[in-house]
Amino acid sequence: MADTMPAIRYARSGDVHVAYQVVGDGPIDIVLVEGFVTNRHVLWEEPSYRRFNERLGSFARVILFDKRGMGLSDRVQAGTLEERMDDVRAVMDAVGSERAALIGESEGGPMSMLFAAAHPERTLALVLAGAEVKEDKTEDWPWGESTREEFEESMATLSERWSEPPSSLRIFVPSRGDDPRLLEWFGRLKVQAASPAAAEVFMRMAHEIDVRSVVPTIRVPTLILHSAGDQICHVENARYLARTIPGARYVELPGADHVMYAELADLALAEIREFLTGVREGPEPDRVLATVLFTDLVGSTERAAELGDRRWRELLEAHHAAVRRELERFGGREIDTAGDGFLAAFDGPARAIRCARAVVDGVSALGLEVRAGVHTGECEVIGDKLAGVAVHVGARVAAGAGAGEVLVSSTVRDLIAGSGIELADRGLHVLKGVEGERRLYAVA
């Protein structure tokens, strides 16, 4: 499945426009009811999130949406649980879904439980992942997120903290809490999901929710997934749900991640697929054939010294934006960004070459020159990254290119027959750290 972002569409729920996307076209419909902050554009930029939904979309039609008041949906009041159930029905109606499995994550869990109990005729199944029961910590519910006093203290400084680096990521996704790229992404997600005032309204509404009276009335097939060490939503929430929902299946996952798309993706997807289809998905392959594209700015050190730090930083940001536009246009997946270079992956070499040429042409309008290299080979998959000899070869091919030039390996040349792409033989080259000689070709 391509990494290109699915189209943003809108469903009408009363007077509110609800933004949604559809991933995959399998025989089962899944509505993903996510937690606190969402923005359909920004979420799709995170490779682990994107890949999780694409893997769901390999056996189902996955419906993603921004809650009212959030992200790309109308910026109205957060709405009651009932109004938000109306939004789910509106999105289902818009895509022609009569029945769907609801995956309720975190704060999205209570609304999913209410929907399943109130509308079993439209609920194929219920999956609760890190789902809350009651946020307010009280004597009769010691497993809430915070007491009323702690919550009010937090709200008092929310506006000041909203645009700051998200230190909470270390308890939200502890398996990746020190990843600077993920920290930057999560910070952007927050501010583009809601304003501080809108976030406060939403959080106050969520803190008041208590679905304990609803839970025993759920009569649809239910799967409960929860990390044993979850620091956002205590695992006793899940154990209560498992005891109280008739016939529920409970799987306690290792680790402490609150979200399913990071370290827990393989385990969570296997359980969800088996629960909904009867067929268990194995872990993601640890090796895959991929086309890698490396780009690198030419003469960046000299230009930085010439322009000064501020102007060079602005120009570098414009360069990054230009490269990312072309990656999205040609279906490339950004793997890594190191300084002024990019590593991206494609499922076909012709698209990688055309993307490389578009990058060369695009950044020239900024007064910059890049070199690029393309190679196809078997890569090792390590989380969101690619590694192995093929990646090393791709980097060395790029290093051999001149300013404004796109070089490709002989493997790529053999795979683009019929594409209309013209190549010029650049002879045999010894690539540093790679055994033997490699014949390289320049894209005309």
Give the Å distances, CA to CA, from 175 to 11, 48, 251: 36, 13, 19
Is residue 281 over pLDDT 70? no
Domains and their CATH numbers in the chain: 9-277 (3.40.50.1820), 287-443 (3.30.70.1230)
Give the Å distances, CA to CA, from 440 to 182, 406, 412: 36, 10, 9
Phi and psi at 90, nearest 5°, equal -65, -40
| Segment (H or E) for 110 | helix 108-118
Q: Please give the average per-residue pLDDT across 12-27, as a whole number.
A: 95
- Tell me the C-alpha distance between 196 and 234, whole Å: 26
pLDDT score of 5: 87
pLDDT score of 2: 39
Residue 13 contacts residue 7 (beta carbons within 8 Å): no
Report the chain's mean pLDDT, rounded to a whole number. Answer: 90
Q: Please give the average per-residue pLDDT across 237-261, as a whole number.
A: 96
Poorest-confidence range of 44-58, 144-158, 287-301? Answer: 287-301
Q: 373-383: per-residue pLDDT in tens?
A: 999 988 888 77
pTM given for the model: 0.68
Q: Please give the average per-residue pLDDT across 321-346, as a whole number.
A: 90
